[in-house]
Amino acid sequence: SRRYTITLLPGDGIGPEVISVAKNVLELAGSLEGLEFGFKEMLMGGAALDLTGVPLPEETLSAAKQSDAVLLGAIGGYKWDNNEKHMKPETGLLQLRQGLKVFANLRPASVLPQLVDASTLKKEVAEGVDLMVVRELTGGIYFGKPRGFGTNEDGQEIGFNTEVYATYEIDRIAHIAFETARKRRGKLCSVDKANVLEASMLWRKRVMAVASEYPDVELTHMYVDNAAMQLVRNPKQFDTIVTNNIFGDILSDEASMITGSIGMLPSASLGKEGPGLFEPIHGSAPDIAGQDKANPLATILSAAMLLKYGLGEAKAAQRIETAVLDTLNRGFRTGDIYSAGNKLVGCKEMGEEVLKSV
C-alpha cells in the first residue's frame, strides 16, 4: 500500500468545516484503492495571524514543502480586511504559492446537467459549458518589482506595481496549458492585452513559439476585454484558456460564476516538482461560518484533483468524482445549490452522503 503525507490547512471561516468533511472522503476513497494517508493540520491565514502574528508561519510552509500534497480550506474575513499588507491573510496565501513554486493554477468550470438551473445564464447558453482556466500563479503584477509607494516629480503620492513576465515563466505555463488542452478537446485560447501591454506582447510571442511543439492543439488569441465578453455571450466556445496571474484571477472567477455553482468548483496549483496546492475556489464565507451550511463539494472535488494531479492516483480520484455525481443524483443539495424537489442538507450530512457513495 502506498503512503502519502498530506498537509491540511483549514484556514478561516467555513474552511475548517469543509476540510474536515473532505478529509474523511479522501481517506475512504484512498483506502479503497490501497492508499494510506498521514495528515498534518497546520495554521494558515487569519487563524495563524491571531495565534502567531503572521499569516503563514514558517512551520506551516516547511510542513507543506515536506508533504506530498497540500489541501487548503479558505482564508480571510472582515476581521483582517483592514490589516496592513504583511498582516493580511491573502499575503499568507501568496507566500504559500510562491514558497511551493506552484506556478500553474488549473481552474475547471463546468456546468453539471443536475445544476444547470443554478446558472444565471439561459439554459441553452449554460448547458454543456466545460472549460478549464490555466492561470499563471507566481508571476506578473502579483509579485513584480519594483512595487510600493512613493512620490512623483510633482510631490504627489503614488502607488505602483510592475507587471513583468520572463520568457521561461511564459514558456512553462504555456507547456502546461498545451498539455491540458491536449488531454481535453484540443483547443487552447491564450488571453492577453497585446494591443496595449509589452508584457502581453512577449506573452503572445512565447505562446506562439511553444505552440510549434503542439501541432495537434488549435491555438487562438483573444484580448482580455473581449474574453470577459465572450464568457458571457457564449462560454461553450472555450475549451482551455491560458492567461496571466491578474487576468486569470478575474476571468476564472467570472467563468466559475457562469456555472452558477461556485460552491462546487475545485482548483489545483502545480509546480515543476514538489507538492501541489489544492483548494476550493470559493472564499471563507464568514457570514455562514460555523453554521454547518457550507457546501463541502468544492473541497471534496479539490481532494479528487489532489489525488489525480498531485499524487497520480487517478482511480481514487475517479471514485470521489463519481461519488459526488451520485450524491447529486440522489437529490442531496446544500443551500447554495438547492432547488425545489431536492433534499436540503448541511455540510456534515452532505459529507456523509458522499461517503456512502464512495
Ligand X SMILES: CC(C)[C@H](C(=O)O)[C@@H](O)C(=O)O
| Residues with active-site annotation | 142, 193, 225, 249, 253
Instruction: Give the C-alpha separation, 289 to 298, whole Å.
Output: 16
Binding mask 51-90 for ligand X (x = CB under 6 A): ---------------------------------------x
Cis bond leading into 16, ω under 30°? no
Vertex 111: Cα angle to 107 and 114 (nearest 5): 135
Phi, psi of 72 (to 5 degrees): -110, 140
Three cell numbers at 29? Answer: 476513497
* DSSP labels, 45-76: THHHHHHHSSSS-HHHHHHHHHSSEEEEEE--
| Site membership for its own copies, residue 51 (CB under 8 A) | no
Stretch touching its own copies by CB under 8 A, among 63-71, 95-103, 222-230, 349-357: 222-230
Three cell numbers at 244? Answer: 496571466
C-alpha closest to that of 276 among 113, 137, 129, 76:
137
| Site membership for ligand X, residue 42 (CB under 6 A) | no
Q: How far apart are CB 38 and its own copies at their closest, in Å?
A: 33
* Burial classification of residue 271, based on how many CB atoms lie within 10 Å of its CB (0-12 exposed, 13-18 middle, 19 or more buried): middle
C-alpha closest to that of 142 among 161, 160, 124:
161
| Site membership for ligand X, residue 50 (CB under 6 A) | no
Rg of the chain (C-alpha set): 20
| Site membership for its own copies, residue 237 (CB under 8 A) | no
Q: How far apart are CB 217 and ligand X at their closest, in Å?
A: 26
Q: How far apart are CB 337 and ligand X at their closest, in Å?
A: 21
Chosen residue from 225, 290, 330, 339 binding its own copies by CB under 8 A: 225
| Site membership for its own copies, residue 167 (CB under 8 A) | yes
| Site membership for its own copies, residue 220 (CB under 8 A) | no
Angle between helical axes of 314-329 and 297-305 (0-180°, round to 10): 160
Q: Which of residues 90-119 bind ligand X (CB under 6 A)?
A: 90, 93-94
| Site membership for ligand X, residue 136 (CB under 6 A) | no
Chosen residue from 34, 160, 183, 339 binding its own copies by CB under 8 A: 160
Q: How far apart are CB 252 and ligand X at their closest, in Å?
A: 7
Stretch touching its own copies by CB under 8 A, among 26-34, 83-91, 303-311, 320-328: 83-91
Binding mask 209-248 for ligand X (x = CB under 6 A): ----------------x-----------------------
C-alpha closest to that of 77 among 314, 285, 265:
285
Helix (H, G, I), strand (E, B) or coil at 4: strand
Phi, psi of 83 (to 5 degrees): -65, 155
* Burial classification of residue 286, based on how many CB atoms lie within 10 Å of its CB (0-12 exposed, 13-18 middle, 19 or more buried): middle
Q: How many residues bind ligand X (CB under 6 A)?
A: 7
Q: Which does 197 bind (CB under 5 to 8 A by kind): ligand X, its own copies, none?
A: its own copies
- Residues lying near ligand X in the complex (CB under 6 A) are found at 90, 93-94, 195-196, 225, 249
- Residues lying near its own copies in the complex (CB under 8 A) are found at 76, 85, 88, 90, 94, 120-122, 125, 141-142, 144, 147-149, 152, 154, 156-168, 193, 195-203, 224-226, 228-234, 246-247, 249-254, 256-258, 262
